A and B are shown apart, each in its own frame.
Chain A
Amino acid sequence: MITENSIQDAALAITRQAAIRIPDDYRNGIRNIRETEQNSLSCFVLDTMIDNWDIAVADQRPMCADTGLPRYYVKFGNEVSIKGGFVALERALRRATAEATQTIPLRPNRVHPLTREDFNNNVGARAPEIEYSVEPDADWLDITTVHKGGLFGTDYRMLFPGDGWDGVKKMFLDTMIQFGRRGLACQPAIVGVGVGGSKDACMVLGKQAACLRVVGDRHPDPKIAELEDELKELGNQIGMGPMGFVGNSMVVDCHIEVAHTHTGGMPVSIHSFCLSSRRAVVRINGNGDTEFRTDPQWFTPYHRREELE
């Protein structure tokens, strides 16, 4: 039986980890892109970012003061049992967010959208967001936290079957260029592309593709994997680097996720997960043991299933 206290402790631990330590996959991605970057200003920026990650760990400070919007993705094993149920889980995650804000500290980013009132704890109406998915034949609970900025680097558009793959490429270029200038998107980014679903599902899917898959991961469908490579290469051919300086480092990696959609449409969303790609994961096993990692393992074969059963 998993307790509310153990969830709160684990959520606090991953929130701290996400804020302070850049995931290894992203760090390695930036190291690789640094090797091929030719422009000296772009190289200076990448080197400074790597220094910043080292200092964040040495000083135990957040790597970026813009907390983004801290949120949680929960995957529960079908056999999991939580004392107090899902209400206890949600309470634990809200409490952990407030505690992390005070103790790390994190910048209290969450305000009322109209009054701009700030409770100074990153908690509020529908905040932090909690999204759920399920995995069969398991008794564990996986909690992923993601701290992603959200002002720039994202777009949604209803394309149509006739627009085809070229339409997606064009929209990808538009998004990279408009938000890449001056580095508004805080690139090089992990770019997530959601294709299909309904409008709202398309936005959610693209964001998850950016935030819940690691650098180097490829979609199991070889055709989609090829398109991921193509978009990554296209982004790095724009001629732009970090901060919008001249360079060849826009995209650390590109992840595409698809959902079956309306026969007449092809909705597309694009999301950029920034130079402080903050994500951390904990698995709480049925016996209460915890294991920490940085790969959410969100898109399991079950999660991507197409079959009826």
Chain B
Amino acid sequence: MSNFRQKIVRLQAPVSDSDLKQLEIGDVVYFDGVIYTGREGVYRKIVDEQLTPPLDLSKTSNVNFHCSPAAAVQADGSYTVGAVTATASFRFSKWMQKWFDISGCKVVIGKGGMPVEDYSQVFVPTGAVYLTTVGYGTGALLGRGIKQVLDVHWLEELGIAQAIWVLDVAEFGPFLVESDLDGNSLFEQSNRAIDENIESLYKGLKEPALRRFGETTQRTDEVI
């Protein structure tokens, strides 16, 4: 991985299936076009409560960003968006299959990826990819890529952080391809390499006198 080769890809959103085919894990992606935000507040309403989405999702875009903008509503009703940063996506795992079915989403952007089984069981059959933000604090870089707030839905009901923000973006990025159409995962690849060193780090360190109930005992496991 030390000489990882990255290509830089610029995608028009909504994205076409053929555009998604060219993506390989580790590629750097920028977007032009329309994307929308949506996270647990939205999933609860649309997936759990089966409410009708307040917009035609599949016509609007097929790129769902797991984020909340640092935004404010001005006195004249307009919106100021300063920065945008993703939130950890693994927490939304349980909603993704139904969300894909309802929304037609093909690209999820977020922080840190999904559990690797989700790629093979949910993303690959859907033909969806996962892109991760970089860093993770690139709020200003991404904020610069937002040209305009096209619409905001459920602002009253969900608040600024959880509402659906429909954004017109240009050169919006960078993002890294974490999982491609085959379900390969950049994080899984990194974990495998890092795991080789784990045992030696703990050499000679004994277990503490008082143990804790735990859900994982292997240090090569992930906690997500």
Interface of A toward B, CB cutoff 8 Å: 38-41, 44-45, 48-49, 51-53, 55-56, 59, 61-67, 101-109, 111, 116, 118, 120, 151-152, 157-160, 162-163, 166-167, 169-171, 173-174, 177-179, 181-184, 186, 234, 237-240, 242-246, 274-276
Contacts and interface: CB of A to CB of B under 8 A. Distances in A.
Given A181-B194, A182-B187, A186-B135, 15 more contacts: A39-B1, A55-B141, A56-B139, A61-B140, A64-B136, A105-B70, A107-B83, A116-B41, A163-B209, A170-B206, A178-B222, A183-B111, A237-B201, A238-B201, A246-B194
Interface stretch (B2-10, B96-104, B119-127): B2-10
Nearest to A276: B137
Interface in B190-224: 190-191, 193-194, 196-198, 201-202, 204-210, 212, 219, 222-224
A66 B83 CA distance: 9
Residue of B68, B136, B174, B202 ringed by the most chain A CB atoms within 10 A? B136
Interface stretch (B14-22, B45-53, B84-92): B84-92
Nearest to B201: A173
Given A65-B143, A178-B223, A243-B132, A104 B70 contact: yes
Given A40-B2, A167-B208, A275 B137 contact: yes
B113 interface: yes
Given A105-B80, A182-B224, A244 B85 contact: no
B139 A63 contact: yes
Contacts of B88: 151-152, 184
Q: How large is the interface on B (under 10, 10 to 19, 20 to 34, 35 or more residues)?
A: 35 or more
B112 interface: yes
B164 interface: no
Contact of B82 (A39, A49, A62, A167): A62
A174 B160 contact: no
Interface string B56-96: 00000000000111111000000010111101100000000
B138 interface: yes
A173 B160 contact: no
B160 A107 contact: yes
A65 B83 CA distance: 5
